[in-house]
Amino acid sequence: MHSQTMKVLTHIYCKMKKIIISLVAFVAMSALMVSCHNNSMYKLSVEAVDGKGTAPVMWPAAATVATWDDAMNPVEVKLSGIAPDSSYASIVMPDGTTTQGVRRFVYPATACAGEGKVMVATVQSGMGCPATMPCYAEYADGNADLVFKSLCGVVRLNLTTAEKLASVQISTEDSANFLAGRFSVDNYPFPVLKAEADASKCVRCEELTAFDFSQGAELYLYVAPGCYDTFTVTLATEDGRTCVKNLKEDKYIVVDRNVVCSINLGQNEGDLVFE
C-alpha cells in the first residue's frame, strides 16, 4: 500500500514538474517576445502619389522618424538602412522603448509637433515634394511593415514670369479650412487632419533663386486637404511689387489627400500684373 502511494505521488510530482517547466518556458518566451517587439525593426515604405502601391523615396542618410505611443512621449529614431532602390527604409526602436496601445509614426521627424500632433510647414522650399511631405503610419496589428500615408495634398504651381520673385504664397480666407500649421490626426480609413487653434491659413515659399521662372518652373507646396471656397496666390518680386490672383473652380477649389492639384499661372499674355 505504501509502495502504491509513493508511485502515485511520484507520478503527480513529475506531472507538476512538467507543468512548472512549461509555465516558466512560456513566461520566458513571452518576455522575449515583448523585448523583441519593444526593440523591433520596422520596414518603412511610402504610398505612391496616386495611392496605388508604394513609391521610391530619396531617403536622406541622416533622416529620422518620430514615433510615440498612447503616453504621447515622442521618440526620434534614425533610419538604420535604406534599400538600394530606395523603395523602403528601416528603423530599429531604441532599447527600453515601451508600447502602450497603438504606436504612431510620422516622417520626417520634423513634422512631429509633440503631444500627438503633427506639423504642416508654413514655409516650404517648393522642391523635393511630394516625396518629403509629411507622412503618417500606425502600428497595432503585429505587422512591422509600415506603409506611410500622406497627410497632405500637393499644389503644383506651374509658373512662368520674367520677374525676379522673392516669395510665392498660397492663402485662404475659408473659415472652415486651414492650409498648414499644427494638426491632430485621425487614422481611419486614412489619415485625416484636424486643425488646432494655432493652425495657419497660408503657406509660403521663399529663397527662390534655384528656380528659373522665365522658362517656366514648377513649385510644389503641400497643404492640408480640403474644399476651399477661397484660394489666393500672391507673388512678390525682389523690388517689392506684388501680383495677387484669386482662384476659383466652380464654387470651390478641391485639394485631395495624396493628389496633385495643378495651377497654371503666367502662360497667357497679360495673365500676371505686378503693382
In the three-class reduction of DSSP (H, G, I as helix; E, B as strand; rest coil), residue 110 is classed as helix
Grid coordinates in use for 186? 485621425
- Asked whether the beta carbons of 203 and 170 are under 8 A apart, the reply is yes
Picking from 162, 178, 163, the residue whose alpha carbon sits closest to that of residue 223 is: 178
The number of residues in the chain equals 275
DSSP state of 94: P
Task: Please provide the average confidence, as pLDDT, over all residues in the chain.
Answer: 82
Band of residue 127 on the pLDDT scale cut at 50, 70, 90: confident
pLDDT score of 167 more than 50 = yes
Half-sphere exposure of 143 (CA within 13 A, CB side): 7
Predicted TM-score (pTM) of this structure = 0.80
- How far, in Å, are 73, 119, 170, 192 from residue 114 at the CA level? 8, 9, 26, 17
Residue 250: its pLDDT value, please? 61
Question: Could you read off the pLDDT of 7-35 as tens digits, one per residue?
Answer: 444 444 445 444 443 433 333 333 333 33
In the three-class reduction of DSSP (H, G, I as helix; E, B as strand; rest coil), residue 33 is classed as helix
> How many angstroms separate the most distant Cα atoms in the chain?
113
pLDDT score of 275 more than 60 = yes
Band of residue 57 on the pLDDT scale cut at 50, 70, 90: confident
- Residue ranges of domains in the chain: 41-265
Which neighbouring-strand residues pair with 235?
Answer: 168, 243
Dihedrals phi, psi of 9, to nearest 5 degrees = -65, -40
Residue 124: its pLDDT value, please? 93
Band of residue 184 on the pLDDT scale cut at 50, 70, 90: very high
Question: Could you read off the pLDDT of 199-227 as tens digits, one per residue?
Answer: 999 999 998 989 999 999 999 999 999 99
